Amino acid sequence: MSVQEYLDKHMLSRKIEDAVNAAVRAKTPDPVLFISNHMRKSVPSVITKVKARQILDSRGIPTVEVDLHTNKGVFRASAPSGSSSGMYEAVELRDGDKGTYLGNGVSRAVKNINEKISEALIGMDPTLQVQIDQAMIDLDKTEKKGELGANAILAVSMAACKAGAAEKEVPLYKHIADLAGKTNYHIPVPAFTLISGGKHAGNNLAIQEIMILPVGARKFEEALQIGSETYQLLKAVITEKYGSHGCNVGEDGGFAPNISSLKEGLEFVKEAIARTGYNEKIKIAIGVAATEFCIGTKYDLDYKSPNKSGQNFKSGEDMIDMYKELCEAYPIVSIEDPFDKEDWEHSKYFSSLGICQVVGDDLLSSNAKRIERAVQEAACNALLLKINQVGTVTEAIEVTKLAKDANWGVVISQRSGESEDSFLADLAVGLATGQIKAGAPCRGERLAKYNQLLRIEEELGDKSIYAGDDWRHC
């Protein structure tokens, strides 16, 4: 296409004339800058290139990063990754070459972006998120995104979402809210990881994490302060009993003292809370991840202790009794994956007791069909949303709506493999989920999300609403 043809196609001659006239009317002191900005707004944004690369996540394992180019800028995003993947979630594409990154490389996913996805998206309007995501789904042609890789598709989807926000000249959370049909912005209550176990830590604790929720804070800024102070005081509590070596941390920043008892961990957290003086403002949540230690129909809470493993199995009924006792003894308001991902009956019964929020993680895998079944059977009452399990921003919005329509809680969740990308913070605000789980109040990849929430709260000013006591039903 010649220059003249391009000018004629986009009616640029007329637009330039309009820009000059507007500059004259505005009596601007810098007409060149005024005309430049006027022209940027008058020419629609289109995707011109998508460039991917392999980077390392917070665990030192490869993941996909994308630079999505438009005629107005470059927008970057990276895909999170978990320590485990289930049969019901979108497929993360790894190279499998044991000679390179022990088989964890993502060069195939990167190649799919650079050679296939980029070509398919060139010329598309970045504000049209649904069409962009559908174009990639159609290109992949598999149910779980196994051809191109969910890690490839998600990174592009996130980058396109950022480009769409920039084109509309609105914050990312505002663009996401528009896509989801939301009008109110709620800053979520953070679930700070204080103690890590399970697959996330090298101690003997079977359950995955103990978290605190500062539901009594007046705003997110105070919630972050509460989380930070409790974390630092917990370090002192652990040090007093185990010494400084007891303060090693897990993959998401929680302390990992060599304990095997959940009660001992809860006592540590209880003491730390007492020392802060925030007793009335803090509730406790536990992430059990029971699938990891379920053998048949029994649960082995000593599976990480070689001398005890296999000697004290618990039935589903035993686990229910344990949870009931814990909820009576501690201010526990949320339990995540209390049973195996296929243990629907015990999950349904426990949920029916109404003791606390029951969050489906492995049970649901952010899978729409699993969520629909869980809603019908009342198997839980909250969704743990991991965006890499669905693979696109559009599908994340859709499953959130499924959960919200059922009057469920929704928790936007990190993965053990994270980057400095703060997308999850904007997603939680835009979808008004009321809850976010981004790890401990330490480590850069975790704080990227929490610090972004601080900025959003500041930007919203008087319009900012901290979820607080309404954390489940924003």
3-class secondary structure, 186 = strand
Core vs surface per residue 244-282: b (16+ CB within 10 A) or e: eebbbbbbbbbbbbebbebeebbebbbbbbebbebeebb
Q: Which of the following is catalytic: 140, 252, 421, 426? A: 252
Cβ neighbour number for residue 123 with a 10 Å cutoff: 8
Question: Is residue 153 within 8 Å of residue 398, measured between CB atoms?
Answer: no
Question: Is residue 451 within 8 Å of residue 443, measured between CB atoms?
Answer: no
**H/E element holding 96?**
none
Burial class (CB in 10 A: 0-12, 13-18, 19+), 67: middle
Core vs surface per residue 405-432: b (16+ CB within 10 A) or e: ebebbbbbbbbbbbbebbbbbbbbbbbb
Nearest to 81 by CA among 445, 472, 342, 467: 445
Q: Which of the following is catalytic: 314, 386, 404, 449? A: 386
Question: Is residue 129 within 8 Å of residue 161, measured between CB atoms?
Answer: yes
Binding residues: 200, 209, 302, 336, 361, 413-416, 437
Cβ neighbour number for residue 57 with a 10 Å cutoff: 21
Asked if 449 is an active-site residue, the reply is: no
Asked if 27 is an active-site residue, the reply is: no
Question: Is residue 381 within 8 Å of residue 400, measured between CB atoms?
Answer: no
CA distance 219 to 466: 5
Nearest to 468 by CA among 236, 246, 188: 188
Both tokens of 233, joined, read 């005081």
Question: Is residue 342 within 8 Å of residue 316, measured between CB atoms?
Answer: no
Binding residues for Mg(2+): 302, 336, 361
Binding residues for substrate: 200, 209, 336, 361, 413-416, 437
| Contact residues for 66 (Cβ-Cβ < 8 A; gap 6+) | 50, 51, 52, 76, 77, 78, 113, 155, 156, 158, 159
Question: Is residue 324 within 8 Å of residue 353, measured between CB atoms?
Answer: yes
Q: Which residue has the tokens 């993965």?
A: 415
Nearest to 474 by CA among 182, 175, 174: 182
Helices 172-180 and 150-168: crossing angle in degrees, nearest 10, is 100
What sign does the CA torsion over 405, 291, 390, 172 have?
positive
Instruction: Give the residue numbers annotated as catalytic, written as ranges.
Output: 252, 386
